[in-house]
Structure 1
């Protein structure tokens, strides 16, 4: 099994990077949609339905598959021999940050359901502030992987 992971390493790494890019695009864009949905759309109208459709398609067809692929290929990379130095701090800072990013993904999913139920109570400002969370986590992840401290 370990030989297979080593053989698949370039594929796993490439697909992991592609999945991270698509996931991050959605993670950055969905809160921005929520800002506009909150600040400029009346509940129950055609524009509300349009925003809900855009949010659903982004979440279900781009973000969710990307999240799954990030985890699958990330775990494959973690178990590939010689890739991760488990005595370093970086795999743990990256891992915790990915778990936090996954929590943020789930938080966004719950907020999407709030819009569906016409029960959003959060302001555009809240969504703007929460949009900083993935930026901070991304910085921690990238620095962890590049500098390997």
Structure 2
């Protein structure tokens, strides 16, 4: 079980690294001057590659978490409300990941309507999600 847990943590950290950086690319994309085609294309290429890579990291992260939950019975029994909260955070993180994909498709279509300031705030969500997940998994407050 410790190997599964170790790799789960590695893939979660890697997934979140991508979720931390992808919105930063969105900030830069939102700041590109209208005539800077080469800069825009370079940032879009980076964003597409990072989105693909981040998605590939999310799959084993979630799969290993599922393995811990179903295969080893982690979080079963009384006093394991922390796991339900952590699962809610996982669902919210998947939603955030999906939102990043939707935003990227908007940039690719040339239809971005949000400012770089909005993306700076959007970029704070994964920090809060990761903090909550770690607190629920380590402290197990309920």
TM-score w.r.t. the length of structure 1 is 0.88
Displacement of 1:78 after TM fit?
Answer: 0.7
Which runs of 5 or more residues in structure 2 are unaligned? none
1:83-106 CA distance string (max 9 Å, x none): 323432100110000100110000
Matched, 1:84 2:68: no
Aligned-residue CA RMSD (Å): 1.5
**Greater than 4 Å deviation, 4+ residue runs:** none
Contact 1:43 1:118 in 2 (8 A): no
Q: In the alignment, what sits opposite 1:3?
A: none
1:119-146 CA distance string (max 9 Å, x none): 1111111111111111111111111001
Moved more, 110-119 or 37-46: 37-46
Displacement of 1:42 after TM fit?
Answer: 3.0
- The separation in 2 between residues aligned to 1:123 and 1:15, in whole angstroms, is 37
Which of 2, 10, 19 is the matching residue for 1:18?
10
SS in 2 for 1:121: coil
Summarize the Cα distance change of 1:79–1:104 in structure 2 as closer, same or farther, 3 Å threshold. Answer: same
Aligned residues: 140
Matched, 1:54 2:39: no
Summarize the Cα distance change of 1:43–1:140 in structure 2 as closer, same or farther, 3 Å threshold. Answer: farther
- The separation in 2 between residues aligned to 1:136 and 1:77, in whole angstroms, is 23
- The separation in 2 between residues aligned to 1:28 and 1:42, in whole angstroms, is 26
Which runs of 5 or more residues in structure 1 are unaligned? 1-8
TM-score w.r.t. the length of structure 2 is 0.92
